[in-house]
Amino acid sequence: MKTYFAQLEQAMAQTSSFDGQTAKIIHLTNAHGMTASFMDIGATWLSCTLPIEGQRREVLLRSPTMAEHMKQDAYFGAVVGRFANRIAKGQFAVDGKRYQVGINNGDNSLHGGVEGFDKKRWTVVERSANQVVFALHSQDGDQGYPGNLDVKVTYTLTDANELSIAYEAHTDQTCPVNLTNHAYFNLAGEASGAKSLDHMLQLNADYYLPTDAGLIPTGEQKPVLGTSFDFMQPKRIGEEFLTEPDQQTAGGYDHAFVFKPEVTDGISAAAVLIAPKEDVTMTVLTTKPAIQFYSGNFLAGTPGASKTYQLYDGLALETQYFPDGPNKPEWGLNNGVLSSGDCYQHQTVYQFEF
Ligand code: GLA
């Protein structure tokens, strides 16, 4: 374990990050020999290892060095915000006032804009053997967003082999807030050569959000029933891959799936991911209304820990509010907008069985 941690530190904390200082790396361990490592840059979940058959299996994708981490646009393991996924043309209105935030993905704003929360240095405010708490102050006007926003993210590794992520935020002006973690999973192992498409997935979601060519939801909530987006029962991801125009537009799966409201209580299984050889199962429990299931369609050529990644070398399951929510008044749930005085509070748990 010690050697593994030392290698990780060597890779990510030898050279300086965005602000000229080196990253702070934090390791958590549990009673079963599972580990989870994090860094203060982006409050990033860097590594997750499971002890399987006497080996340490890394199930997260990441960059090989800090220098590469700073260049990638995969958002490996980072907390993304203020607004996860896309806002069309980076424009929205709150309280009758229009705002323009940074454009960094075609015509649109992605994951909080040019210098999103993934690129900021968070403060470690608390830590123990199984928990670390990161905080970030995002000042009024940061990336064009209104209000001073204070964010707290708590990662806990439990002895039930769960990695829990609790999110909290407050603002002094009404502002869109949609936080998630952008970890990429490969339950066969980061270096295994297995693909996202070889995994089995179940999503307790009966609607998905089709998108336009820029990956902005069209506004329609489409029933999954009878389509390749139906993951109500566990299905191999590759089984109906790219079979329909809604997938072809996105180069695969890169869509928000709307959970059945009854599974968003934080204790029900909202999503289940099963390793190709069925030796690892990851269950996702969450209080968030949707999940962006992204099959790794833009990974090709991105330097990774064990190799240069190719298409579909990992997949992301990002629990969140709907992309472009602030521009879709018909969707409800405050459209992903946090009022001043209210508290944004959510939790997502990734539970591993192996
Ligand atoms: C999200 C988006 C994808 C892609 C990745 C980052 O999952 O939905 O389209 O931009 O982030 O590479």
Q: Is 85 in the pocket of ligand 1 (CB under 6 A)?
A: yes
List active site positions: 182, 318
Residue 206: both structure tokens together: 């009966």
Whole-number average pLDDT of the chain: 97
Q: Write the pLDDT tens digit of every residue in 300-326.
A: 999 999 999 999 999 999 999 999 999
Closest atom of ligand 1 relative to the 254 alpha carbon: 8
CA of 77 to the centre of ligand 1 (A): 12
pLDDT bracket for residue 259 (50, 70, 90): very high
Q: Is 298 in the pocket of ligand 1 (CB under 6 A)?
A: yes
pLDDT bracket for residue 13 (50, 70, 90): very high
Closest atom of ligand 1 relative to the 73 alpha carbon: 12
Q: Is 12 in the pocket of ligand 1 (CB under 6 A)?
A: no
Q: Write the pLDDT tens digit of every residue in 231-249.
A: 999 999 999 999 999 999 9
Q: Is 294 in the pocket of ligand 1 (CB under 6 A)?
A: yes
- The Cα 279–Cα 266 span in angstroms is 25
- So what CATH class is 2-181? mainly beta
Q: Write the pLDDT tens digit of every residue in 48-64.
A: 999 999 999 999 999 99
| Closest C-alpha residue for ligand 1 atom 7 | 294
CB within 8 Å of 53: residues ≥ 6 apart: none
Q: Is 254 in the pocket of ligand 1 (CB under 6 A)?
A: yes
Q: Is 72 in the pocket of ligand 1 (CB under 6 A)?
A: no
Q: Edge to edge, what strands does the sheet with 149-157 contain?
A: 123-128, 131-138, 149-157, 162-171, 343-353, 281-286, 271-274, 200-203, 235-236
Residue 51: both structure tokens together: 């002890």
Q: Phi and psi dihedrals of 279, rounded to 5? A: -95, -5
Q: How far is CA 189 from the centre of its chain?
A: 18
CA of 3 to the centre of ligand 1 (A): 32
Q: Is 83 in the pocket of ligand 1 (CB under 6 A)?
A: no
CA of 294 to the centre of ligand 1 (A): 7
Q: Write the pLDDT tens digit of every residue in 204-216.
A: 999 999 999 999 9
Token look-up 């960059």 returns: 63
Nearest to 334 by CA among 288, 294, 293: 288
Q: What percent of the chain has pLDDT over 70?
A: 100
Q: Is 47 in the pocket of ligand 1 (CB under 6 A)?
A: no
| Closest C-alpha residue for ligand 1 atom 2 | 85
CA of 197 to the centre of ligand 1 (A): 17
CA of 85 to the centre of ligand 1 (A): 7
Residue 108's pLDDT is: 98
| Closest C-alpha residue for ligand 1 atom 1 | 85
Nearest to 200 by CA among 312, 289, 277, 268: 277
pLDDT bracket for residue 333 (50, 70, 90): confident
Q: Does domain 193-346 have CATH number 2.70.98.10?
A: yes
Q: Write the pLDDT tens digit of every residue in 268-301.
A: 999 999 999 999 999 999 999 999 999 999 999 9
The single-letter code of the amino acid at 12 is M
3 state SS for 99-156: EECCCCECCEEECCCCCCHHHCECEEEEEECCEEEEEEEECCCHHHCCCCEEEEEEEE
pLDDT bracket for residue 332 (50, 70, 90): confident
Q: Is 110 in the pocket of ligand 1 (CB under 6 A)?
A: yes
CA of 264 to the centre of ligand 1 (A): 23
Mutate to test the pocket of ligand 1, among 118, 294, 302 (most ligand atoms within 8 A of CB): 294
- The Cα 249–Cα 215 span in angstroms is 8
Q: Phi and psi dihedrals of 142, rounded to 5? A: -55, 120
Sign of CA dihedral 105, 109, 111, 114: positive
Residue 335's pLDDT is: 92
- The Cα 37–Cα 43 span in angstroms is 10
Q: What percent of the chain has pLDDT over 90?
A: 99
Give me the mean pLDDT over the 319-338 stretch. Answer: 94
- In the chain, ranges of CATH 2.70.98.10 domains: 2-181, 193-346
